[in-house]
Amino acid sequence: MTHRIDQTRRSLLTAGAAAMVLGGMATSRAAAQSSTSTAGQAYAPGRRMLGALEVSAIGLGVQNHSRTFHTTIPNRAEMHRIIRTAFDEGVTFYDTAEVYGPHESERILGEATGEIRDRIQIATKFGFNVDLETGVWAPGLISRPSHIKQAVEGSLRRLRTDRIDLLYQHRVDPDVPIEDVAGAVQELMDEGKVLHWGLSEMGHDTLRRAHAALPVSAVQNEYSMLWRGPENGLLALCAELGIGFVPFSPLGYGFLTGAIDMGTSFAPGDFRANTSRMDAEHREANMALVALVKSWAARKSAAPGQIALAWLMAQGPSIVPIPGTTQMPHLLENAGAVNVTFTESELAELSADVATIEVQGARMPPMVADWSGVEAPQRG
């Protein structure tokens, strides 16, 4: 029977295609910095390092806490409860961006984390052409140094905090040298407003240049069993440079949870409806991955999504997936993935099985794909 995914189903959704593609102050900064440690130092189980920033082994993406489908707005109080429950479950790493909402995702996270602010790590992003005051989203990308500083001031206000633990350039601005971006972030670090920085979906050369200009703590790119692109050199580059890796859409937009089958249709505005890997002919081939995680779920007494997340975390010690959800049962399930482990032989077997499945279709619409792998211009 054909069915439409609604807010009671597991969903990692966006409000549109492009959105997928974001004294007392001294005391709180000191508390935040005391929660980090340098690479190589011991840290507690369930924790991982993104460069010199220590975070929980799994994070929470709050992109859809302001809106899932175009017509669906989650209950705000329930989103606050999910954020706080994540903390109770050991999740301390929260991911947002100015473009999510726009602006509303940051506001919701700020509202929910006041009492726990000094015990968590917040990541947000700049770079899309979002009006600094109204949140109206216009075409294009903006990473001019002056704009970065204004964007960060807005994020700080909405997040109700005096510093951002991890600030990403959301997408590379093709008109701004990455050295200029790094310079602006360095000035924000000097002011104590940013503690660490990273990039998302950038070209490999741009990452090297960025790291040379100002040490990068993390890269955030899509990565899952459904999209293994980072295995083609990016993961190795991050390991070489000592940069952590944060996979977004680690459950393949819900596909790897088993919630999507051949009878599933998508609501208007659902990002997945515009990705050819979800077209019927491609989805049928890609269902082999669902069958695989379901078989391993039965074998490990776990949920299919937990297998997908645990496999990701097993790909490297500095990989920190950030599954997003607006549903409490899914939050608890995702957080529990840290308890799923594989022996060396099990991991080799599972990885070999994953490698035999050739995913069909594109991961994103061409308009969004054009923002990925971009190299920043050289300084003139």
Could you give the residue numbers annotated as active site? Answer: 100
Provide the residue count of the chain: 380
3-class SS of residue 364: coil
Paired sense of beta strands 3-4 and 93-95, if any: unpaired
Q: How far is CA 186 from the centre of its chain?
A: 23
Q: How far apart are CA 301 and CA 133, in angstroms?
A: 49
Distance of CA 68 to the CA centre of its chain: 16
Distances 355 to 233, 248, 286, 332 between C-alpha atoms, Å: 16, 20, 12, 29
Q: Which residues contact 24 (CB under 8 A, 6 or more apart)?
A: none
Q: Residue 164: beta bridge partners? A: 194
Calpha distance 28→119 (Å, rounded):
10
3 state DSSP class of 48: strand
Residue pair 54/43 in contact by the 8 Å Cβ criterion: yes
- Which of 175, 181, 180, 225 lies closest to 200 in space, CA to CA? 181
Q: How many CB atoms lie within 10 A of CB 359?
A: 19
End-to-end CA distance of the chain: 59
d(CA 354, CA 224): 10
Which tokens is 39 given? 């690479």
